[in-house]
Structure 1
């Protein structure tokens, strides 16, 4: 008997741990619920509910293959090793299979579990599954991890040209084990269920994920390089939540893109190339997380940026969180996040840069708020994006590159359709005025606030602060 420990890999197809376990004999799948730890890690209620709903779907799929699912609960991750050992003893299981995860705490948990099984003379097999390449396997000539994405991408391209990773099939149906499966709970302790709107936007299960992947690659991806910047159109993949929960694998996404692009991934259709590059950005940030663990610990990737004198402004932070800054595109984006659990990628950059540059508030406050709201909250990608915007990370935006929210709004939401959807109190304004409502109109209406800051003045303030920081380290 083999145990397959499922975490953020809730799928039958192309699941390395599950497939390899099935090749070694009868399999029992196991999940460990640790809501206290999830709360400590700021996982959003909508994310936890999405994970739970996908686990429900997977449980049904597993049952058709006669693979029972056992549910364990623990107060903290430190209990994982003993709980899994106890289950192995109860079922007379001789081996544990699981796919690696990459946060510092996740690695410590997994190392402890592997050591405990080995100490008991039991087999423990671990796999690189959530990403394309094992962290630390793409290195500079000096043998260190890349700090620049373009160099990382070049080597990733070379490796993909040499050998594309394959997608594994689902396990075969096995003989009945006689082991009773546990029911997936209808709610996770400490977490509210997602809203009906959120559930409709993010249907659970492999079939739903595969349908979205097919829709994207067949109908949307060709224009992705340009349409992805327009928040009022369905121009992005919207697959990030499925990748974070492991309902889709990056290999499945890569092969779908290549198939739609006549077998190419770095040439051909610009939309396909751009999307594959986004998959590699996701990969890059996972490697950064492992090779530079300080980014897991609320530290700036660039140590010289640790001492920026961020402003302590709780009212401004709350206004940003609630979409009440008086800058329409910022408020529309933040309200989209609050309502749906998701935000358009360009708007993630724009809202992050507004908080860190125009408001000069520490990026760590924004990083945490996003994790507490996002259905696709991923430590590596979220941290990488925030540090890029704050000019503290790898491949970060130069400190003097500060997006002007109004200019960006006029460029990417020219008619104001996205703003009207999320900031209806200014929906009566013209397409010219809606990006920057006239002050006299604001005084006439108490429903929408005046801007928190003057964009030009706050930009100059940020430039002065960051320049002084740079001068101190020259």
Structure 2
């Protein structure tokens, strides 16, 4: 008997471990509930709810394949080895199949499980699935992980041209087993249900995810480069929750892009090539996570930036979290996050830079808050984005660069449509005032005054970074 252990790979199409298990013989499936571990990782209630709803959809797909789905609990991953060992002993499992995961805790969990299973003669097979390339497969000439995205991208494209990854078909159904599936959880301890309005924004299941991918590729991919930075436009794919939970694979996304661009990775339609680059940024940060484990431990990628004199400013942090900083684009973005569990990518950079530089509040406060709110919270992408914005990460924005939230608003939401949607108190303002409401308009609209002076905060941030010890000074 084979066991497929599902984690963040809740699909049957193009699932490497599931296909491998079924090729080896009769297969049963497992999903572990680990609410205490999810809380330790700051998984958002919306993300956990999305995961459990997709588990329901996966169960229906597995039922068609005649693969029973068992549910077990390992509140913390420290107990996972014994839970797996008991289950494998009960069902005489010859081999456990998983798709690789790359955080420090995930890697330690899998190593511990593999050791425990080996004690009783059960195999443990880890498959490449959530990435196009296994970490360590693409290295610099000196044998190290890439730290610069453009170089990583070049290496990826060279390999992809030589051997484009193929998508695995849906497996064939196996003969029925005399094992019943377990009842599925609809909630777990410590997590509240997502409200129905949020659930409606994010329907679940492979069919939905693949349909969204297809519609994006047909209707929006070719003008992605022009529209992706405009938060009032439907210019982004909004597929990130499905990728994070593994309802879609990166291979499926890449194939959809290639199908609409005559098979070209980096030529042809600029919208397609720009979106492929975004898929590769996601890949890049996963490789960074594997190659430089300190970023999994709340450490800056650039050690010397640990000396930044971050401010303890709880009132300003709360104003940022609640969307009442007095800067309309910042506040609209944060309210979008609160209401939907998602934020437009351009705005993630803007609000992250505002917190880490204008407010000079530790980027880790923002990273943690995002994870506790995002339905698509992914350790590698979230950490990579925050450290990029805070100039503490690999290939990050230069320390002296700050996005001005007013000019960003004027450039990317020129009519104020996004702002007016999320800040209805400003909807009567014209396109001139909406980006920086005058004192009169603020009084009339009951909108807060700015919590900082942009020029002063810029000078403060530049001084803080300018006075850091040089990189390589031995700070750790």
Q: Which TM-score band (shorter chain)?
A: over 0.9
Tell me which residue corresponds to 1:315: 315
Tell me which residue corresponds to 1:336: 336
CA distance in 1, matches of 2:6, 2:472: 46
SS at 1:126 equivalent: strand
Tell me which residue corresponds to 2:235: 235
Tell me which residue corresponds to 2:465: 466
Which contiguous aligned blocks of 4+ residues in structure 1 show a shift greater than 2 angstroms? 470-474
Tell me which residue corresponds to 1:46: 46
- 1:470 to partner: Cα distance: 5.3
- Cα RMSD after superposing both structures: 1.1
SS at 1:253 equivalent: helix
CA distance in 2, matches of 1:109, 1:227: 41
| TM-score (structure 2 length as normaliser) | 0.98
Q: Does 1:173 align with 2:173?
A: yes
Tell me which residue corresponds to 1:219: 219
CA distance in 2, matches of 1:14, 1:449: 50
Contact 2:70 2:182 in 1 (8 A): yes
SS at 2:372 equivalent: helix
Tell me which residue corresponds to 1:100: 100
CA distance in 2, matches of 1:246, 1:184: 18
- 1:440 to partner: Cα distance: 2.2
Tell me which residue corresponds to 1:454: 453
CA distance in 2, matches of 1:306, 1:256: 41
User: In the TM superposition, what whole-angstrom CA distance separates every residue of 1:2-59 from its partner, at most 9, and x where no partner exists?
Assistant: 0100000000011010000000111101000000110010000000000100000000
Written as runs of structure 1 = structure 2, the 5 A alignment for 1:76-87 is 76-87=76-87
Task: Assess, with a 3 A threshold, how the Cα gap between structure 1 residues 426 and 470 changes in structure 2: closer, same or farther.
Answer: farther
User: In the TM superposition, what whole-angstrom CA distance separates every residue of 1:369-407 from its partner, at most 9, and x where no partner exists?
Assistant: 000000000000000000000000001000111000000
- 1:220 to partner: Cα distance: 0.3
CA distance in 1, matches of 2:472, 2:203: 49
| TM-score (structure 1 length as normaliser) | 0.98
Q: What is the aligned residue count?
A: 473
- 1:164 to partner: Cα distance: 0.6
Structure 1: state its 5+ residue gaps: none
| Bigger mean CA deviation after superposition, 262-271 or 184-193 | 184-193
Tell me which residue corresponds to 1:110: 110
| Bigger mean CA deviation after superposition, 164-173 or 208-217 | 164-173
SS at 2:137 equivalent: coil
SS at 1:373 equivalent: coil
SS at 2:254 equivalent: helix
User: In the TM superposition, what whole-angstrom CA distance separates every residue of 1:208-265 from its partner, at most 9, and x where no partner exists?
Assistant: 0000000111110001111000000100011100000000000010011000111111
Contact 2:304 2:470 in 1 (8 A): no
User: In the TM superposition, what whole-angstrom CA distance separates every residue of 1:421-469 from its partner, at most 9, and x where no partner exists?
Assistant: 1111111111110100001222344x31100111122111111111111
CA distance in 2, matches of 1:434, 1:384: 31
Written as runs of structure 1 = structure 2, the 5 A alignment for 1:279-318 is 279-318=279-318
